[in-house]
Amino acid sequence: MTDTAELRRRTQELLAAYPPATTDRTDFLKARFDAGLSWVHYPQGLGGLGLPRSLQAVVDAELAAADAPDNDPRRIGIGLGMAAPTVLGFGTDEQKQRFLRPLWIGEEVWCQLFSEPGAGSDLAALGTRAVRDEATGDWVINGQKVWTSGAHTARWAILIARTDPDVPKHRGITYFICDMTDPGVEVRPLRQITGEAEFNEVFLTDVRIPDAHRLGEIGDGWKVAQTTLMNERVSIGGSRIPREGGMISAVAKTWRERPELRTHDLHQRLLKLWVEAEVARLTGERLRQQLAAGQPGPEGSGMKLGFARLNQEISGLEIELLGEEGLLYDDWTMRRPAVVDFLARDAGYRYLRAKGNSIEGGTSEVLLNIVAERVLGLPSEPRTDKDVAWKDLAR
């Protein structure tokens, strides 16, 4: 029996044992995970079957046809797209067993404690300190993180902190799993241009993290973080969407339904952006085919670059198409959303929120450097701080 046929059989057995119409949503998701149908390319016992990543589409199609519940991937996107592959790649057996199942089911939401006020684009310059308590073996964390999406709803966080200030900045970092319910964790909202506060600044004061919640070796956190960052860029810029899906769908719908708004110039721009959106969609499909054979590479940075530029150009075109109507904005009340939903909001929201697409997940300027150096093979920029101890760097 082929892998495809076997997957269909397993999926039908799951549906027969746990009919979606009569089974509690959480119970169904737990059963799906235990059957190895959550992410089939993960190992057996961890939600998968050790099969090629591309075969996940077989399971997803069968479940969609049966109207089975999903795990609300937008709400738990950081856990699915960033924390899970990092835990899988660097976690101990105990960490994998503890964290992956509740993460995938959505019982525990994750956030990312990476960027700092003085270390955003230059993430390796981070200054949050982790000091070992020799009496207990715990790590004591002090510092500040910023631009943390979903920290106000998160149970766990992936965190990088400096454990050795006496070595160059990329070498003295260690990667941890942080309990967001610790009394030393303070989350404060950051109000955005949209009026909302979907992300936050996070203050860490004597937060104690057991060594059992360290991912990877001490001082090897930059290597671990690269897995997170590569997966982050793919999850932001390379998600699967249908033809004429995403941001282009809203402006195309307005164009078809509001003929009185059309002009020749806007028509030409819409056609150009529609073609570019379709090229981006097909490029994303190719990227996912490459992922079936290995880990994300720098190509994900290129996808994320295109995603940010397209979103900003498309949302700008939509505002111009709507004219004065496009200048309206529905509500400036500060909300604390758990998810970002571009298409459920109005054109004004899309235009304002899209400005963040070229910042989150790595600024476009940094990603251009990555593509230039690692994809095109161009000479890297001079780095005078490469061999200087972090403690001796100017800040």
Across 57-94, b (16+ Cβ under 10 Å) vs e yields: ebbbebbeeeebeebeeebbbbbbbbbbbbbbbbbeee
What is the spatial distance between Cα 316 and Cα 358, in angstroms, rounded to a whole number? Answer: 14
Across 354-393, b (16+ Cβ under 10 Å) vs e yields: bebbbebbbebeebebbbeeeeeeeeeeeeebeeeebeee
What is the spatial distance between Cα 145 and Cα 304, in angstroms, rounded to a whole number? Answer: 23
Q: Which of 196, 232, 299, 318 is catalytic?
A: 232
Is 362 in contact with 143 (CB distance < 8 Å)? no
Sign of the C-alpha dihedral, residues 388, 147, 233, 224?
A: positive
Largest interatomic CA distance in the chain: 74
Question: DSSP 3-state assignment of 369?
Answer: helix
Structure tokens at 306: 């295109």
Q: Nearest CA to 151 among 125, 195, 126, 115?
A: 115
What is the spatial distance between Cα 226 and Cα 297, in angstroms, rounded to a whole number? Answer: 10
Is 360 tagged catalytic?
no
Q: How deeply is 294 buried, as exposed, middle or buried, from its count of CB atoms within 10 A (0-12, 13-18, 19+)? A: exposed
Q: Which residues are catalytic?
A: 232
